[in-house]
Amino acid sequence: MLTSKQRAYLRALANSIDTVVMVGKGDLDEQVFKTADEAITARELIKGKVLEASSLSSREAADQIALSIDADVVQVIGSKFVLYRKNKKDPKIKLPR
């Protein structure tokens, strides 16, 4: 579980990263979960977007993906969301206490 200070830190880092996960009219399938898992393993912090064609809201998609890949939802704004999961072997982001 992230503290508010850690969330704020991660939100600031997320401003400069590109969107790597797109949820479209196919909604959430195995490919979306696989892409999110691979990206978050490599980067620890990923940004996703829910396209208008999707039947899911950004919050629903973020929560389902986070649950599936064991990540934390950092923020959801509009159609975009940010997820974080610490890489146990090679951590890249040092969170404030």
HEC sequence for 50-63: ECCCCCCCHHHHHH
The mean predicted confidence, pLDDT, of the chain is 95
The pLDDT assigned to 85 comes to: 97
Over its C-alpha atoms, the chain yields an Rg (Å, rounded) of: 13
How confident is residue 38, by pLDDT bands cut at 50, 70 and 90? Answer: very high
Average confidence (pLDDT) over 40-51: 96
Reported pTM: 0.94
The pLDDT assigned to 15 comes to: 95
